[in-house]
Amino acid sequence: MPNLNDPRIPVLLFGLTTGIALSAVVQYLYQTYQTQKTITEAQSEVPQDELDSIAPSTAAEATIDRIRKEFYIPAARLQNMLKAFVKDMQRGLKQDGAIMKMIPSYVTRRASGSETGTYLALDLGGTNFRVCQVTLEGAGKVRTKQRKFVVSQELQKGTGTALFDFLAECVEKFLEESGIGKDTRMHLGFTFSFPVMQQAVNKGVLMSWTKGFTASNVVNEDVVSLLQAAFKRKNMNIKVAALVNDTVGTLASHAYVDPATVAGIILGTGTNAAYVEKIDQIPKWKGARPASGEMIVNMEWGNWGADRIPLPSTHYDNKLDRHSPNTGQQLYEKMISGMYLGEITRYVLLDLIATGELLRGQEVPELKKQYSFDTANMSRIERDYTKDLSDTRLLLEELYGITTSTLADREIVKHVCQFVGTRAARLAAVGIAGIVTKINKLDGCTIAIDGSVYEHYQHFGNRVRDALRELLGMCSDSIVLAQARDGSGQGAALIAALAES
């Protein structure tokens, strides 16, 4: 036992504790230095793009989940929408002024394939104006030659006279190039893809503009007279023999090759459908009973839901609508078509930046410009299967100069596109199921579909199919969704030929 009274013990104890404390301090300082060194080294050695690839955090996942819920339409809701859609079709067939206009097209016959002759066809419905020469050779054969012209924003929003003069000028150029004299008598089918109250096969009054057009002095006017007058100003010897909607043209031209075709649908800049209806099912039709007992009806389905029931609109949709030139109209179209899908996505992204959930809240001035995010970008982003979404990074950089997006940011952007695009396809399926249910063709038929969204948005078609299955079960398998391309001009020529005979 050591002697506790030994005077050297306190000195010994003091030395011992000081030594321990000192070595602890040294060890702590050394460890801190090491840790700091690792962090600094890590920061200087890890390249920027690896930092960018930080996986989505729980916060990003929560954001994605929230947006998913905002845009998801459950199966039960789809079913209710389908019922409401069919009811609205019936309302429109009964009387004018309904939400879905259900306009009788005056087209009561389908082409037999034996029609012959050369016709001009014009197609105005968006940024591109097409002029075609369509030669019907009989036996179902058709030859076409066409040229596209761009309709500038100034023309779309200027005066009606300037717009129709431009159309006549394009036709003049086309005839010149084709070696057809200006005074040659030609018959023409005019595809005019806006809501027109048809008054004859070659007469119809524009009810309202859609898709951003606002040209003055055209609403409430007969667009055939306006076109005919523009030809007259240029001394051109052209007779407008038929005025058709693009959906009607698409249906007519596809029925020419597939007689099981019952509807023509456009899923492009705008959206709409036309279908073959029994004349007895159109109580508002007061004209003569056609020999065929049927008529093509231009539904103008884009305006469905204009009473705000029962569309699943979000606050992004409402904002888009408030800032559009036709507020309160075309609400279904504004949730489905190419003109608007990019714009909805843009509003979601802006919102997520504002809440700090995207790009750590960094402002992107370019993204604030209306319609600066094209729907084609959504399709491109959704097709980005690279591990670090590098194509999306490139696109964000190209479009908006964003160089600091993390993988989590890009994941969010991709999901937003997916949710907005999926909702659009599911909504379009409601319309298709509505037509098939209304005309009782659940046992099989063909639906011809044209338009950039359907053709180029890679997942769109499959999503429509999936939703159709949810809505109609096994019956959906017997519905053929046929891709139609540029059929509306040809259809207009066919209808002009039918009108002539």
Active site amino acids: 130, 193, 246
Least distance to ligand BGC, CB of residue 48, Å: 45
For residue 7, whether the previous peptide bond is cis, meaning omega lies within 30 degrees of 0, is no
Asked if 109 contacts 135 with a C-beta cutoff of 8 angstroms, the reply is: no
Neighbours of 343 (CB within 10 A): 22
Q: Binding residue for ligand BGC (CB under 6 A) from 108, 210, 345, 377?
A: 210
**How many Å apart are CA 476 and CA 478, to the nearest integer?**
5
Does 247 participate in binding ligand BGC (rule CB under 6 A)?
Answer: yes
CB of 93 to ligand BGC, least distance (A): 17
Q: Which residues of 26-41 are buried (b: 16+ CB within 10 A; e: fewer)?
A: eeeeeeeeeeeeeeee
194 binds ligand BGC (CB under 6 A): yes
Query: Which residue stretch of 229-237, 268-276, 313-321, 375-383 sits at the interface with ligand BGC (rule: CB under 6 A)?
Result: 268-276
Q: How far apart are CA 326 and CA 167, in angstroms?
A: 24
Contacting ligand BGC (CB under 6 A), which of 105, 193, 418, 446?
193
Residue 333 as a binder of ligand BGC (CB under 6 A): the answer is yes
* Residue 302 touches ligand BGC, criterion: CB under 6 A: yes
The residue range among 76-84, 100-108, 193-201, 433-441 that interacts with ligand BGC, by the rule CB under 6 A, is 193-201
Q: Which residue, chain included where needed, has tokens 């659009």?
A: 424
Q: Which residues contact 462 (CB under 8 A, 6 or more apart)?
A: none
Of the candidate spans 95-103, 128-136, 262-270, 353-361, the one that interacts with ligand BGC by CB under 6 A turns out to be 262-270
Helix (H) or strand (E) holding 121: strand 116-124
Number of neighbouring beta carbons within 10 Å of residue 235: 9
Task: Work out the number of other CB atoms within 10 angstroms of the CB of residue 42.
Answer: 9
Residue 125 interacts with ligand BGC (CB under 6 A): yes or no: yes
Residues in 11-70 that interact with ligand BGC by CB under 6 A: none
Residues forming a β-bridge with 261 = 446
CB burial of residue 303 (10 Å; 0-12, 13-18, 19+): buried
Answer whether 85's CB lies under 8 Å from 434's CB.
yes
> Which residue number, 243 or 348, has a Cβ lying nearer to ligand BGC?
243
| 8 Å CB contact between 331 and 303 | yes
Contact range with ligand BGC by CB under 6 A, out of 22-30, 191-199, 282-290, 406-414: 191-199
Judged by CB, which is closer to ligand BGC: 104, or 125?
Answer: 125
Q: By CB under 6 A, tell whether 321 contacts ligand BGC.
A: no
Q: Smaller CB distance to ligand BGC: residue 56 or 270?
A: 270
Q: Does 245 bind ligand BGC (CB under 6 A)?
A: yes
Q: Which is nearer to ligand BGC, 60 or 100 (CB)?
A: 100
Residue number of the CB closest to ligand BGC reads 270
Site stretch for ligand BGC (CB under 6 A), options 182-190, 252-260, 265-273, 314-322: 265-273
How does DSSP classify residue 193? -
Q: Which of 433, 467, 427 is nearest to 447 (CA)?
A: 433
- State the DSSP H helix or E strand holding residue 22, giving kind and residue range, or none if neither: helix 9-45
Rank residues 56 and 491 by Cβ distance to ligand BGC and give the closer one.
491
Under the binding rule (CB under 6 A), the answer on residue 250 touching ligand BGC is no
Q: How far apart are CA 132 and CA 423, in angstroms?
A: 35
Residue 410, interface with ligand BGC (CB under 6 A)?
Answer: no
Structure tokens at 397: 């950089």
The identity of residue 273, as a single letter, is A
Residue 219 DSSP label: B
Q: Is 324 in the site for ligand BGC (CB under 6 A)?
A: no
Q: Which is nearer to ligand BGC, 164 or 194 (CB)?
A: 194
Residue with Cβ nearer ligand BGC (255 or 407): 255
Site membership for ligand BGC, residue 437 (CB under 6 A): no
**Does residue number 382 form part of the binding site for ligand BGC (CB under 6 A)?**
no
Q: Does 411 bind ligand BGC (CB under 6 A)?
A: no
CB of 94 to ligand BGC, least distance (A): 21
97/296 Cα distance (integer angstroms): 19
The answer to whether residue 270 forms part of the interface with ligand BGC (CB under 6 A) is yes
Q: Which of 248, 362, 233 is CA-nearest to residue 295?
A: 248
Which residue type does 406 have?
T
Contact pick of 107, 266, 311, 429 for ligand BGC (by CB under 6 A): 266
**Which tokens go with 375?**
């729907």
Q: Are 271 and 336 in contact (CB under 8 A)?
A: yes
300: contact with ligand BGC by CB under 6 A: yes
Nearer CB in complex with ligand BGC: 104/268: 268
CB 434, min distance to ligand BGC, A: 16
Among 102-110, 264-272, 305-313, 410-418, which window interacts with ligand BGC (CB under 6 A)? Answer: 264-272
Question: Which residue has 């004859």 as its token pair?
Answer: 200
Q: Please give the residue ranges that form the binding site for ligand BGC (CB under 6 A).
A: 125, 193-195, 210-211, 245-247, 266, 268, 270-272, 300, 302, 333
